[in-house]
Amino acid sequence: MPGRARGAIGADTEHDSVVLPHYTQPVPYDPLSDEQREIRDLVRTLARERIAPRAEEIDKAAEFPWDMVELFREHELFGLPFEEEYGGTGTGALMVLVAIEEISKVCATTGLILAVQELGSLGLKLAGDEDQKQRFLPRLASGEWLSAYALTEPGSGSDSAAMRTTAERVGDEYVLNGSKRFITNAGVADLYTVFAKTDPEAGHAGISAFVVEASAPGFEVGRIEPKMGIKGSTTGEIFFNDCRTPAVNLLGEEGDGFKIAMRILDRSRPGIGAQGLGLAQGATDYALEYARSRETFGKPIAQHQLIAAMLADMETKCEAARGLLYKCGLMIDEGAPADEITKISAMAKLYCTDAAMDVTTDAVQVLGGYGYMREYPVERMMRDAKITQIYEGTNQIQRLVIAREMLKENRAFLLAGVG
């Protein structure tokens, strides 16, 4: 592709300036194509050489890392979630998950930048018409614009029907009034996928979806929250005070909003699973290297049975999570039925993020007192991991979703002949 930066996705790697190191670790089986492995190796190299050295400072400063956005632009990482016709790479959902995983091994805040670019654009990809896609997707694929997803409100989290933000049709515009809370990328996004009630009395059926530009009259960013983890990512309030957005920015039809929101979450939850998996694997790798070098009672602590058992459990959880996550990515790419995607995405998000919390906690324990100190990254990883169990649908909600889908399935034939 002409004009691509050296080292960018799709560039001619024969004369590329990035020299990939020799990996001595065994490479586990994976379902990636040769092209996808090349992209993974590029992302892995960028993560180690460019992102990892910034991770501690991003956490300490608690400021949005615009230099990481520029790095993504330079190497065309923002193109991963998009089709080629809109300026993307067309490499599929699995590749996005792999990239988020690799980045999150060293910096979960930076991994979230890519995950939210996918989240904030899915409404357009799933429900937008061609004019909407042509107007917005190329800007998102290039990274010129960042995106966000605005569903949650102060009194409406898991219960979307309780939202109070309204949208009223006035001529060729919709006028929005209300607020959203805990919005990732608040204040840095250029484009928001917003959900509001066009029929306040109709519950879920009264919710509609819109794309709203940050420059829209009446749009305002409120408080940016100080957080326990992912401190470099902005999380904040947004307000709609007679905010006007063109009627052509309605996604689908009036009343389609709840269905669109659920379809989006089915495909965005795996991205948080990938963030969780990256945190878990990064913490495992760091704890392993520490356990090899730290000696007690005359030998490395990795050779003590209790530590060895912890490391084994950590690695097993990571590999099990990866299998579930990659299966989810493949199913999305292969066009699996919607109900199957709903179930597998909830399972992947649930397992990967529970593993993230378990494994990062164990990594702190392996390092002992050092693990509790900010000088070592596992402390940050543990703080970052907690939010993965909460946003994009709490893990309690994921369990409800999985059980609900199970109850729809007919497994009676499996019991035939069982006395």
Helix (H), strand (E) at residue 169 = strand 166-170
Answer for the pair 384, 364: CB distance below 8 angstroms, yes or no: no
Q: In whole angstroms, what is the distance from residue 262 CA to residue 264 CA?
A: 5
Give the other-Cβ count within 10 Å of 362's Cβ. Answer: 23
Q: Which two tokens stand for residue 341?
A: 């995607």
Determine the Cα–Cα distance for residues 234 and 62; give it in Å rounded to an integer: 9
Q: Which residues contact 168 (CB under 8 A, 6 or more apart)?
A: 174, 175, 198
For helices 52-61 and 108-127, angle between their N-to-C axes, nearest 10 degrees: 90
Taking Cα atoms as reference points, which of 70, 67, 69, 16 lies closest to residue 45? 16
Note whether 78 and 140 are within 8 A (CB).
Answer: yes
Q: How many angstroms from the chain centroid is the CA of residue 188?
A: 17
* Residue among 157, 158, 168, 176 at smallest CA distance from 199: 168
Q: Note if 392 is an active site residue.
A: yes
Contacts of 138 (CB under 8 A, 6+ apart): 86, 87
Nearest to 328 by CA among 306, 346, 309: 346
- Asked whether 178 and 165 are in contact (CB, 8 A), the reply is yes
Residue 35: CA count within 13 A, CB half-sphere: 12
CA distances from 76 to 66, 82, 93, 205 (A): 15, 11, 16, 38
Radius of gyration of the chain (CA): 22
Bridge partners of 221?
Answer: 238
Residue type for position 146: L
The catalytically annotated residue of 102, 118, 237, 392 is 392
Assigned token pair, 102: 């690799």
Query: What is the C-alpha separation between 8 and 1, in angstroms, rounded?
Result: 10
Other Cβ atoms closer than 10 A to 266: 25
Burial of 289 per CB tally in 10 Å (0-12, 13-18, 19+): exposed
Instruction: Just list the catalytic residues.
Output: 392
